[in-house]
């Protein structure tokens, strides 16, 4: 089904027209749009009233938005999320698992915590997939299509492959080659493209779009949609009924979707369709920053051979650098580690904003008292999964945490993960080895245990 060009904010226009009639809201939400009791930012907050469709069974305004989103990225179908990419990762994995009972999943070990939560819930057996690791870099590299085929060839039970591309640092994998491999072995490729919403919109400046049978993009990370919005795109080759996908959206998506967020998605679609030069100021700013940052002497601007260009990754003492950028220049970076920072750009950036960042970096670099740290990477060991995630996590909930250094030879009952971005160092059901402990102790990031900052303890199974 094709849609006429979505170049006007249709949901926004409908809201303006409806609210212009000054209706008496004898329905939720309880603030009744009364700005005496609520911020003006929520003066257009409505519920699923007549004429405004239902995100769980869209047939009108919201269905038009889904069709327009599918057209933007040239996919067969699109599903909107106001629960972020998290809700759609849970949905995709649950739907594929349900469609392939008894099937296993090949999962990249640098996938986001939401992916692992999905396998915890579905109890789908997981086969680890290790990213390429460059010993000179403190973060994971790409996923090899060769490695995917090598594993699929030996494991006919694998019916699902889950990867992240681009990564938090912008590293891209050859998703086209991986998709072709997965198809040959009758496996569904789910690509977490949360950090690549800007890819695939007809502009090769940023890098190649990331394909898959199911692709999930966070609309807020680089585009001009509100935080918590995302889209799941599916290809016509996906042999899973829409009813099954909608069923799991019903489970993982809120039953009261925010029209404030949905209006933001409508505006984003309209802007992309109507403003052909929407990305031009952003592109010029990024191109300028890349050129200027290459001249740093005490830091190193890093770009992978295959990457997308919205992230500016600077190698150096990231913790100290981030503190100085905040204190001296009022600049807040996306993430800071002992080995690097990530400065994330987006459609709201331009030459002026990125010139300010470049100036701050150059002035800091001129101080001359920063040295590039010697990067000693302890690779993540290939995990030995003794129990499925769900069983191990459930068994551990009643146990008290104990000191991590006493856990060698035992089975983890919970997650340790780097935050940001939420990539596990250890997952429930994984055997803890001396190599595992070395890897955790070498982590150059804030470590969390569940919702708490890591305190050196962990729930383990005997």
- What pLDDT, in 10s, does the model give residues 75-100? 999 999 999 999 999 999 999 999 99
> What pLDDT sits at residue 139?
93
Do residue 345 and residue 419 come from a single domain?
A: no
Confidence bin at 452 (pLDDT 50/70/90): confident
Q: What CATH number has the domain bearing residue 437? A: 3.90.105.10
Question: pLDDT for 265-307, tens place per residue?
Answer: 999 999 999 999 999 999 999 999 999 999 999 999 998 888 9
Q: Specify whether 47 is located in the same domain as 162.
A: yes
Give pLDDT, residue 7.
Answer: 94
Mean pLDDT over 228-233 rounds to 98
* CA distances to 100, 103, 236, 264, 342 from 229, in Å: 28, 30, 23, 9, 22
Do both 97 and 237 map to the same domain? Answer: yes
Do both 234 and 290 map to the same domain?
no
161 in any annotated domain = yes
Residue 165 sits in the same domain as residue 256: yes
One domain, residues 141 and 268: yes
Of 274, 305, 326, the domain-final residue? 274
Please answer whether residues 104 and 124 qualify as being in contact, where contact means their C-beta atoms are separated by less than 8 angstroms.
yes
Assess whether 347 and 424 both reside in one domain.
no
Task: Tell me the average pLDDT across 353-363.
Answer: 98
**pLDDT of 414 above 80:** yes
pLDDT of residue 3: 53
Buried b (16+ CB within 10 A) or exposed e, 177-200: bbbebbeebebbbbbbbbbbbbbb
Q: Is residue 382 part of a domain?
A: no
CATH number of the domain that residue 73 is part of: 3.40.640.10
Range of the domain at 314: 280-366
Q: What is the pLDDT of residue 267?
A: 98
Same domain? 86 vs 211: yes
Domain-terminating residue out of 366, 398, 418 = 366
- pLDDT tens, residue by residue, 47-67: 999 999 999 999 999 999 999
- 257 plus 287 within the same structural domain: no
Statement to judge: residues 121 and 158 lie in one domain? yes
- Taking residues 230-258, report their average pLDDT: 96
Query: For residue 373, is it within any domain?
Result: no
Q: Let me know if residue 310 belongs to a domain.
A: yes
185's tokens = 């072995």
297, 359: one domain:
yes
442 lies in the same domain as 361: no
Q: What is the pLDDT of residue 257?
A: 97
- What pLDDT score was predicted for residue 1? 43
- Predicted confidence (pLDDT) at residue 2 exceeds the cutoff of 60: no
Token output for 395: 């068994």
Res. 4 pLDDT band, cuts 50 70 90: low
Note the pTM of the prediction, 2 decimals.
Answer: 0.96
Q: What is the pLDDT of residues 195-226, one digit of tens each?
A: 999 999 988 899 889 999 999 999 999 999 99
- Give me the chain's average pLDDT, please: 95
**How many domains, in total, are found in the chain?**
3
Q: Check whether 326 has a pLDDT greater than 50.
A: yes
Question: Crossing angle for the helix pair 242-252 and 84-99, nearest 10 degrees?
Answer: 140
């Amino acid at each position: 089904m094709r849609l006429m060009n979505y170049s006007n904010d249709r949901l926004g226009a409908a809201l303006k027209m409806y609210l212009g009639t000054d209706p008496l809201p004898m329905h939720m939400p309880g603030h009744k749009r009364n700005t005496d009791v609520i911020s003006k930012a929520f003066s257009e907050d409505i519920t699923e009233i007549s004429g405004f469709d239902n995100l769980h069974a869209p047939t009108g305004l919201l269905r038009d938005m889904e069709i327009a989103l599918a057209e933007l990225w040239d996919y067969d179908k699109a599903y909107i999320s106001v629960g972020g990419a998290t809700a759609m990762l849970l949905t995709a994995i649950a739907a594929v698992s349900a469609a392939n009972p008894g099937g296993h999943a090949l999962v990249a070990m640098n996938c986001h915590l939401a992916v692992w939560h999905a396998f915890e819930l579905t109890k789908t057996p997981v086969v680890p997939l290790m990213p390429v690791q460059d010993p000179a870099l403190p973060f994971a590299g790409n996923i090899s299509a060769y490695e995917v085929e090598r594993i699929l060839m030996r494991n006919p039970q694998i019916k699902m492959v889950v990867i992240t591309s681009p990564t938090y640092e912008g590293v891209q994998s050859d998703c086209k080659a991986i998709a072709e491999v997965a198809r040959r072995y009758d496996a569904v490729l789910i690509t977490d493209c949360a950090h690549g919403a800007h890819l695939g919109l007809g502009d090769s400046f940023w890098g190649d779009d990331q394909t898959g049978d199911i692709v999930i993009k966070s609309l807020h990370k680089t585009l001009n949609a509100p935080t918590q919005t995302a889209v799941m795109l599916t290809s016509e080759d996906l042999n899973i009924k829409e009813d099954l996908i909608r069923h799991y959206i019903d489970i993982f998506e809120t039953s009261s979707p925010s029209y404030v967020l949905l209006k933001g998605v409508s505006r984003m679609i309209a802007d992309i369709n109507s403003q052909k030069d929407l990305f031009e100021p952003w592109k010029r700013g990024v191109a300028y920053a890349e050129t200027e940052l290459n001249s740093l002497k005490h830091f190193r601007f890093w770009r992978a051979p295959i990457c997308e260009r919205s992230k500016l990754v600077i190698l150096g003492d990231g913790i100290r650098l981030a503190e100085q950028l905040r204190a001296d220049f009022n600049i807040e970076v996306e993430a800071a580690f002992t080995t690097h920072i990530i400065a994330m750009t987006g459609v709201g950036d331009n030459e002026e904003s990125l010139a300010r960042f470049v100036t701050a970096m150059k002035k800091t670099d001129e101080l001359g008292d920063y040295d590039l740290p010697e990067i000693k990477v302890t690779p993540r060991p290939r995990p030995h999964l003794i129990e499925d995630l769900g069983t191990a996590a459930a068994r551990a909930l009643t146990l008290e945490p104990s000191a991590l250094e006493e856990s060698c030879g035992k089975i983890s009952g919970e997650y340790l993960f780097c935050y940001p971005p939420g990539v596990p160092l250890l997952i429930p059901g994984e055997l803890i080895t001396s190599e595992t402990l070395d890897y955790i102790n070498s982590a150059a990031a804030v470590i969390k245990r569940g919702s708490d900052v890591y305190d050196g303890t962990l729930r383990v199974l005997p």
